[in-house]
Structure 1
Amino acid sequence: MSRRTSTPTIRNNEQDAYGRHARNPTPRAPLNLPLLRAFQPALAPAAILLAAMLAHAAGRALPASLSGLKTLGPSVLLLLGTGMAVWFNRGRAFIALASLLAAFAGYSLALEFGAASFAARAVYAAIAILVPLNLLLALFLPERGVSHHFNYRWLMLAVVETVVVAWIASAGRSSLSGTAWQDLLEHWLFRSPPTPLAGRLTFVAALFAAIWRAWPRPPRTHTRPLDTGLVGVLIAFFIACEWVAARSAFNAFMAAAGAIMLVSLLQESHRLAFRDELTGLPSRRALEERLHGLGPVYAIAMVDVDHFKKFNDTHGHDIGDQVLKLVAARLAEIQDGGRAYRYGGEEFCLLFDGRTLAETLPHIEKIRADIAAYQMAVRGDDRPKDPEAGTKLRSLRSAEKTLSVTVSIGIAEPDDVLSTPAGVLRAADKALYRAKEAGRNRVSR
């Protein structure tokens, strides 16, 4: 077996720790996670929308004594969601839920004057236009918490919106202003029901922007629950507006909007607790919980980025973060049922439930070789943050500084001595250090 140096590259004719010649495949960009895993947060909003349709159909058969539930349900869900947003300090969710709650309460009050009244029509036209805009604002805002000064400014703006809409709705037909607003509501752009054309145009623009915002793009390989939840809320609110003539349908889909935000808040809290924000991989806490549910057959691999401190000292922490994202994206592609976790620092863990060490070894060796073969372009200060724009800029340059990254991997499985996941994890960690002592960029067992 040829002896390798500790340089962080791998050559075509070098041999790995098992005497096999390592392949040097054509470098390719990191891929997204499998489609189902990437869009998993979107499943709950879709299920809730379907449940709202079924609830609307079943609600027609409710006895008169239970008809109050149709109005009580949306109110409770929206109030509960707003309270949870404040409790979890989620400013974006608070803006969305407060907008929905104000819209539902305002329209319910306006209906006291009759569905065909000027007040109901004015409030309906206003919420059909303003709510999608507020939801879009919540989607694109960075998360700064509920108590950030911007949210106070938004609340002031929301109060102004409410006062203006209430003034318009209360304007009498006999007054000059009331007649002017009545003529405006009869304009083809604002005529309703169903949803005024201005509201539909606002919704379509907001929906396309929301989908674009929520769509996962490198280096982010998964959708965020709150982003996909806001897309679902937009759809639920639009259906509620389209079916506003049927009060039960309006209530059902406003309740669905509140339920979607509730679930999204819970998913977002779970993501923050169990997912690493930098790499997008499940965190060490998620790994520790998963270890408790393993069967008798499994394998654990510990992965460490070689010379990571050197990357940080030489190129800075931004380059170090790029290295971690690159390695995480490659490890997330592991086949044969493997799942990657961020263990801490420059360490990662690969867990193969139901697979033996011999079954997982070829996939681990391939991941090691793929990482070593990839030439990572160093992001310059003038390089755009958008990956596509950065790729175009890189193609115009004759030469750009690149770095090679390698990893050392230790792998272990249970046997007569190693009977617990914690013991197997420690054995994999010891095997990792043997790989590093043997020259790095290799797999050890």
Structure 2
Amino acid sequence: MREEFLYYVWQYKLFSNPNLQTVQNELIEIKKTGVLNKNEGPDFLNAQLYIDGQLWVGNIEMHVKASDWYLHNHETDPNYDAVILHVVWENDAIIYTKNNDPLITLVLKDYIDESILNNYNSLLFANKNWISCENQIDSVDAFLIKNWQERLYFERLEQKSKSIEILLKESKLDYEAVLFQLLAKNFGLKINGDAFLNLAKAIDFSIIRKVAHDQTKLTALLFGMAGFLEAEIESEYYLNLKREFNYLKHKFKLVSKPKNSFQFFRMRPTNFPTIRIAQLAALFAKHQNLFSKIIHLNKKDDYYKLFSVNIDDFWKEHYTFETTSKKSPKKLTKSFIDLLLINTIVPLKFVYLKNRGEFTEDTFLSLIQEVSSEKNGIISKFLDLGISSKNAMESQALLQLKNNYCTAKKCLDCAIGNNLLRN
């Protein structure tokens, strides 16, 4: 038994008998269950109860065992002085208030419907499945799942917005600078994401603005700051970048990063950090006010056109500075741009519109629902269970569901878990 289950039953009044009675044989009528407290202190705040006809206003504390009150040292904590009811699963001790009166106590297991308890036990404790409800999830109404996915998606956006707000604060609300940092991180993908973000943060965006009109200068700046221009390579292109960077380094008093922070091992050549840096430079050289452009676009195809950029000719025949390769344009693919939409552009637009008070769900969802669903192990496993993902909004929602609810066994906080518990 977990305390979370007691919260759940109390909050939704899932009692088998509405005539609640304390261990002191006092009748309880719930006027307000109170507000679930997710911070320190009693579990429910500002509850209103009629106890033997007398209205009580205060807080409620819940424990699996009554003796947990002393185990958690609540008797010495003034935050618990206003507790008007102690709700327990097992009443194994008498708890006294500071006035030496027994604390009014309700034993909840005497009032829980057996079917809900059985559903709870079977869902959370009786299996070792990939997700707790995998044998029952196909019985849940599709409309309920769809609505829950929308809520999960916005919950995921809210989580992502926290790191974006930090970057905005650091940049003094410079959305162009934050876009550069976020795009850089996503150009690095999972393996090089942190290295790319550190690269972007190491360059004051005012310098990017000053050199972005010249693709060679911007390319030299990025490669130089990433530590790729410190070798002795006899290539006209390489030596030109090196000269440009040395000039910029002296002019702006720059300190470059070590090259070994970028990984090539077990990566596809198209994802080599050298190629991604060249593409990033080409993008910001072509669009010097990129954020002001993306904020007004609402169609996926418009983003495909915006992100269609040409890298330097050198990189069309190279994956690294040292070796040549078969010629290819090495443009940003639609699938890669989809990842940028999912992980950078849409979350940043969400923060921007919300901060301006211009956010509307329906308009906002239209873009992310145009983007194809992600493909990974979690999405494939849900598909095996009959839960398909038709677009990026749904795939992001399923990732949120698995990582934040299923893995943590937070079935009581999940709309699907709630549905199964009550049936």
Larger proportion of helix: 1
User: Structure 1 length as normaliser, TM-score?
Assistant: 0.24
User: Structure 2 length as normaliser, TM-score?
Assistant: 0.25
